[in-house]
Chain A
Amino acid sequence: MTQAEIKLCSLLLQEHFGEIVEKIGVHLIRTGSQPLRAIAHDTGTSLDQVKKALCVLIQHNLVIYQVHKRGVVEYEAQCSRVLRMLRYPRYIYTAKTLYSDTGELIVEELLLNGKMTMSAVVKKVADRLTETMEDGKTMDYAEVSNTFVRLADTHFVQRCPWVPATENSDPGPPPPAPILVISEKDMYLVPKLSLIGKGKRRRSSDEDAAGEPKAKRPKHSTDNKEPIPDDGIYWQANLDRFHQHFRDQAIVSAVANRMDQTSSEIVRTMLRMSEITTPSTAPFTQPLSSNEIFRSLPVGYNISKQVLDQYLTLLADDPLEFVGKSGDSGGGMYVINLHKALGSLATATLESVVQERFGSRCARIFRLVLQKKHLEQKQVEDFAMIPAKEAKDMLYKMLSGNFISLQEIPKTPDHAPSRTFYLYTVNILSAARMLLHRCYKSIANLIERRQFETKENKRLLEKSQRVEAIIASMQATGAEEAQLQEIEEMITAPERQQLETLKRNVNKLDASEIQVDETIFLLESYIESTMKRQ
């Protein structure tokens, strides 16, 4: 784990779970697998707090445990999983586009709570949806269940590893930690529950705020004392499936940008057909025949078979090689080259970064070296048609930024420098790694800056929150316009200005984080795909 990744994990854990969890989590990421006592001793926190922190981390799938020899249980943190927390809003939004508000809330609850039983999810989501509906209307549990089942069928949610129901013939002592199993075929099996009920609307708390002491709400409210029917069957969001969806989206939009809408629709159809049949890490999809594709095109698309064949031929001949032809049976067998597609996307990202950072002439040199693979200094100047001095300057800028590297080719066995070729080349994998590392640093900087801005204006923020609360409570008890006006004037105009600026800055920083995370996704997918092939 690089320092940049650890720093970013530390910021994310602290922001979402507090300092204690952050301390334990970062310690585990740094030192690897550790038993409980070692963690408590090394971090100087009490055993009780370490246990609480570990509970939270395990609940959210950030830490796993294993029983080692001699009965020692060791805990291991998963750094990459912690970094996924940046992507939560994107997962939730995707669920919204695919399964509308119900799906959105299901995925949100699963992400916020880590692991949940189906009945708990359904109940909570139904309650939340009922809140947003008009008075008198409620959300039926059955509808939420249906959406849940659909999410499970398309693999967007999956079961967590569970304790196997073994029959212990020998009454030996139980193992120090449960050994969890997971089987491929049961991973998306939805238990047969008959969840009957409707969402409950929570009594609006505004009426109670006027000084009446509220009845003490127990922290874990259990309205019904019935046993939970699916106790022990926990579900979690399947992040890999979401990543597959993002990858497909990226490929389709790349095709749409490069060619036209129809080609992108064809590619989308092909990807959809391969969703369940092809594992997400495969270099290319299963071959699909042109006839199959024709039958599976979306209903509204009225293109004839010949036109489809022409499009497929065009796609297969394109130098980007997103689509490849693997045979001639069935009207032509076509595959989508997932690995090549990811490589093209990563390369496009690199080119775009070079262009925005160094200028379009540098970008021209970069693309040139990419295309020709290896070039000498003189050749770069000639091909790019850029004067020698500027070309040299640009090459060195990119070289020191590690976008371009030098390859030595000796002419003589003694590698004498005066008799060696020095060629400029782009190593996409290492450039992608360098850029990824930079992205982690960028996000860490963005988060730090946002926290700094918020801290600077803490007093003002709290004041405005108090004023808003006062106004809300006064409105609820029916105050006059003049009184409200008076309270609003407690915040002066320059203070309002300051608040506006703060809000704008925080929004910009947040939006930048989301943007950088998209780049991280592309680069990580490419690197992962490349490593799998080696």
Chain B
Amino acid sequence: MPAVSKGDGMRGLAVFISDIRNCKSKEAEIKRINKELANIRSKFKGDKALDGYSKKKYVCKLLFIFLLGHDIDFGHMEAVNLLSSNKYTEKQIGYLFISVLVNSNSELIRLINNAIKNDLASRNPTFMCLALHCIANVGSREMGEAFAADIPRILVAGDSMDSVKQSAALCLLRLYKASPDLVPMGEWTARVVHLLNDQHMGVVTAAVSLITCLCKKNPDDFKTCVSLAVSRLSRIVSSASTDLQDYTYYFVPAPWLSVKLLRLLQCYPPPEDAAVKGRLVECLETVLNKAQEPPKSKKVQHSNAKNAILFETISLIIHYDSEPNLLVRACNQLGQFLQHRETNLRYLALESMCTLASSEFSHEAVKTHIDTVINALKTERDVSVRQRAADLLYAMCDRSNAKQIVSEMLRYLETADYAIREEIVLKVAILAEKYAVDYSWYVDTILNLIRIAGDYVSEEVWYRVLQIVTNRDDVQGYAAKTVFEALQAPACHENMVKVGGYILGEFGNLIAGDPRSSPPVQFSLLHSKFHLCSVATRALLLSTYIKFINLFPETKATIQGVLRAGSQLRNADVELQQRAVEYLTLSSVASTDVLATVLEEMPPFPERESSILAKLKRKKGPGAGSALDDGRRDPSSNDINGGMEPTPSTVSTPSPSADLLGLRAAPPPAAPPASAGAGNLLVDVFDGPAAQPSLGPTPEEAFLSELEPPAPESPMALLADPAPAADPGPEDIGPPIPEADELLNKFVCKNNGVLFENQLLQIGVKSEFRQNLGRMYLFYGNKTSVQFQNFSPTVVHPGDLQTQLAVQTKRVAAQVDGGAQVQQVLNIECLRDFLTPPLLSVRFRYGGAPQALTLKLPVTINKFFQPTEMAAQDFFQRWKQLSLPQQEAQKIFKANHPMDAEVTKAKLLGFGSALLDNVDPNPENFVGAGIIQTKALQVGCLLRLEPNAQAQMYRLTLRTSKEPVSRHLCELLAQQF
């Protein structure tokens, strides 16, 4: 075997290197280098012509100096001269100098083209290889322009030596990748594919890389390579461990070539030809079988080489994703590696299993390893292995194991490395949202995240929890309660204060009934955190305070005191100072109506994709798609999020959040026709003591006047004309969409929200009702970038409704620009009791195609409910008066939401009736009373709701003076719990 001694061949170089190594300091080294540079410069400039050896030696010294990190500004010409030498060693140093220094002087390239051309034409394989390596190493466009046409010829020439072919293939690959336009396709491409059959394994090894690259760019032109690759692979895989002699590495035949062939096959779908496919499947099975055989050597090199092929085989199996048997075998094999003593194998098995989890065939098989993976998360010493374990848990998560996985991730978070905490937080937040069976679990999980890793909970995560709580009224009371409890911890993270501030500001009223969380207690709890918080948080808290003034008039004096304090009014921070001044003024001068309008409950957040998911994607980059399982073919995905609306009678918003993760659930079966009834979960802010019973121009009108066309002087005058001209006959409009009832149901308990949304259009609703009058704002948003034309929304009264309800609409513009929103105002008058809502028909042209959509307008009879307070005695008296069988409607039903007294109370208030305390002898029960106001008549209503927590059932009884109204209200209200 060859051996070389130190500095073999160039004594001067060895001496110089030794000198440099002996330098005691950087200064000494620089001194020595400068001395040498001066010496070399003088030699190069000297009168005496240098011989090839000296030139080579000095150029090599310059190269060494450059590699030490010093600039070299001369010697290039001498290096170029070396290229023309006939001696290999001199030529090699010349080429090396150019390859290494070419970045710093691209002028060089033009000078050397001639020498390269000569070497390529020399028919001396050694010189040809040197030239080809130089082109491959430099790979610039200039090189491509000069040589791209010559190299294919060298590659396929019958008389080229094997080593030249190897270099030519990779040289061409380099040029093709750098400037594909310069490489002419032609007759050579067909012959290149046949290099897969070449006798010389080295040529095949190099050629496969070129062919793979060509296949990626022009898959159709190189299809023939599939069968050739399969037969080559088959020969290697089935050969005995010594058959391939030189190409056997630790008893493994041609491991690198096998890996490359398997990667080439991943450019294509499974072979269509049955024979080829059969042969390939046989290969894959052989590899899987060999993995089970006892090792032929104990060396790690043997197992690594073997497993390199195995992992690439599994990649191909996953790529095909069509052979359930192979996928499950692959999964089992990886399962064995999960507990292997080699860390590398555990890591790779976790990584590979992550992609297996996304296949419907192997998802279940992957899930069986959950305990091992959780254990890896706890015990692995290498953070990157733990990270892969977390990725795999995320990928294997579905409805069945979400609670376990989320709780393990939360536990891991307490000790997780700082580097991956944020990612774990994002993953937990996404899984908790995606697989939430009930949203109280979701709220608990996110609050736990903030508690454990508050610093890593980014804005996206805590914004998200606010969006979801705002959009889902079934969780608002729970969220308020939980966040209130969390804030009682002596030290809580600032993010907790932010979430708490926002939620209590919006929904604090839902827990205000409990003396332990009465308004003053809520306020003093929040305010106790105030001084420790950053400016942004304090600004948010100030907004909470003004909301408190609106929600809880009893806190007004205290809060005004806080706002008035010098530390606020004269705060150096302009944002805080401005808020304090403005909120203080607002609370002092504005009437309760104005205050209530300004501080109305936040409208639902319209959303398409979870901002958290978007963030995780950004973090992981485009290549991480598989781990993010957004494109996941999960067999159980049909019930993902669909479970959020477990039965049609759930009224809580299906809401945009249901398909936040892009997994639109199959629409639940249509709800039974729901007609009347609305009312807000929250105490209606208009029901304050000074509420105006009329829709006439009050201060709130003035406030809104910028947002809408001039209000009519008297709404009564407008409403007196109950037949709007734009109202087409019912025959013109289609039947309501299947989800119409369900969408309508969302609004039984609230007045504002997103009524409808698809890919083109979003319709938002904001409405207010007073006695028998109502005003509704519809917001039509064009979600596309294209203008809608002939846009015409109209309201239709089917059947008798025309005599029961008058709806006056205003026309809207016929064009809606892309991304724009138009608003339509509806004035509504309830003439007499009604059971079916009006229809809203929306028609427009989008890109020339007519679109039509019919929805039910969220106007139900309980919108015209006026609460009535009465004493127990009066209640029982009236209850007895309404004792005719047809005046009573009763329903016994199962609870669909957690049975929380506070939430129930809020829902009943929202429904519109007054809640009467100390009437029912059983304090668990609720009784309420109210009057439905119509133009023609008033309908008195009494209700009683009896929860049975043990049985998770309710009994609801309604008594009204009109039989259909009793039944109708009973049906509507029964769906709220």
Q: Tell me if chain B binds chain A.
A: no
Interface residues of B (CB under 8 A from A): none
Interface residues of A (CB under 8 A from B): none
